[in-house]
Amino acid sequence: MIPKRSKYAIQALKCLAKVYREKKHLSIATIAEEENIPRKFLETILLQLRNGGMVGSKMGATGGYFLVKHPDEIVLSSIIRATGGPIALLPCVSLNFYEECTECPHEELCGLHDVMLEVREASIHILSKTSLADLILREKKLLRKSENKRK
Amino acid sequence: MIPKRSKYAIQALKCLAKVYREKKHLSIATIAEEENIPRKFLETILLQLRNGGMVGSKMGATGGYFLVKHPDEIVLSSIIRATGGPIALLPCVSLNFYEECTECPHEELCGLHDVMLEVREASIHILSKTSLADLILREKKLLRKSENKRK
DNA sequence: AAATATACTACTAATTTAATAGGAATTAAA
DNA sequence: TTTAATTCCTATTAAATTAGTAGTATATTT
Ligand code: FES
Ligand code: FES
C-alpha cells in the first residue's frame, strides 16, 4: 500500500494538470476543497512536491501552486517516489527504500527476492508509463463508458 | 509493502516444502533457527496458517508442522492473503482489504482507481502463478548461475 | 512422571503515518 | 500603508498498525 500522502499528491497534481493549459495556479484551499483533502495536510504535501521540483508556487495574495512540467511528463511513479511511497512489496527489492533482508543469507540466491523483483518491475512499468495527462484521459473514457451504460 | 508476518510465512512454508516428499514435519524451533525468525512470533504465524488450513500440525513431543497440500499447489498470493498482507497499492483496489475512497466521488469514474487495478492485476498474476515448488526451483537456478559466474 | 511440543490469548513495545498547530514571510489590492 | 490572502516552515500530537513477547494450558512420547 502506498501512503495516503502519495494518493493525495496524485489527486492534487491531477487537479493542477487540468488547469495547466490556461496557465492558472490554484490555492491550497481550492485544491483541498475540490479533492476532499485535509487542508493543512495537503499544505505539507505540496511543499514537499515543490522542494522536489515537481510544482512551482507563487506567494502572497492570489498566490498558489502550478505544474512546472507538462502533464504528459509527470508520471505516477515519480509522484509516489517524491512523496516517500514505496512501490515494491519488500524492502530488499525497493529502489528507494532499500533495506537488506537480515534473515536471508544471500540476496542473489533468494527465490523470493527474485519473484518480488519481477513484481516490482511489472508495477513500475505501468506506473511510469502513466502520466497525469493519461489519468485525465482515462477519466474521460470512463465517463463516456458509464454514460453509454445508462442508456 | 507486505508485512514481515507474510514474508516470514513464505520462508517457513518454503522450509516445510523442502521436506514434503519425506513426509517429515518440523518443529517451530527448527524452522525459526533455520530461517532466522523470532520463535514466538513464528508460533503465531504458523497458528494462523493452520487455522487457515494451509498447514497441519501434530501436538506433543516429536510434534511439529507440515504442509497439507503439495508445494505445487501453494502459491504466494494465498500465503500473503492468509497472513493479512495486502497486495494492492490502494485500499479501493484491494480484494481482501477493500475500503472505499472517501475522497473520490465515484470509483467507476476514477482514473487512479483504474490504473491501480491494472497494477494489482499484474502483481497478482505473478504471485498467483508462483508456488513454493517454483520458489525452490528458482533458488536452484540462481545457485547454478552464481556457481558459473565464480568460475 | 518428565520432557518436549503445539494451542491460545493477551499484552507490550516500537514504529510509522496522518493530521494539526501556529506563526513568519510575502504579495496584491483596497 | 494597512489589510487580507496566501505560501513557508517546523514542531508537535494523535492514531493506527505491526512486531514481538509472555505465560499458561493442553497434548504426546518416552
Ligand atoms: S533477500 Fe529479501 S526476501 Fe530474501
Ligand atoms: S476511487 Fe480509489 S483512488 Fe479514486
Q: Are A65 and A46 in contact (CB under 8 A)?
A: yes
Say yes or no: B109 contacts chain A, CB-CB below 8 A: yes
Assess whether pLDDT exceeds 90 at residue A147: no
Q: Which residue has the higher pLDDT, A22 or B132?
A: B132
Q: Which nucleotides of D are covered by protein (CB under 7 A)?
A: 4-11, 18-23, 26-30
DSSP-derived 3-state class of residue B65: strand
Alpha helices (H) in chain A, listed in sequence order: 4-18, 28-35, 39-51, 76-82, 111-127, 132-150
Residues B10-53: tens digit of each pLDDT:
999 999 999 998 878 999 999 999 999 999 999 999 999 999 99
Domain ranges (residues) in chain B: 4-150
Kindly report the CATH class assigned to A4-150.
mainly alpha
% chain A with pLDDT above 90: 91
- Predicted local confidence at residue A151, as pLDDT: 65
Kindly list the residues from chain B whose CB atom is less than 8 angstroms away from the CB atom of residue A10: 112
Q: Which residue has the cell 520462508?
A: B11
Interface test with B, best of A83, A123, A150 (most B CBs within 10 A): A123
Q: How confident is the model at residue A149 (pLDDT cuts 50, 70, 90)?
A: confident
- Distance set, CA A43 to CA A37, A40, A118, B147 (Å): 10, 5, 35, 53
The dihedral built from the CA positions of residue B23, B26, B32 and B33, taken in this order, carries a sign that is negative
Q: Are A118 and A89 in contact (CB under 8 A)?
A: no
Interface of A with B in 62-81 (CB under 8 A): 76
Residues B77-123: tens digit of each pLDDT:
999 999 999 999 999 999 989 999 999 989 999 999 999 999 999 99
Q: Helix, strand, coil proportions of chain B in percent (round to 5)? A: 55, 5, 35
Say yes or no: B147 contacts chain A, CB-CB below 8 A: no
The model's pTM is: 0.94
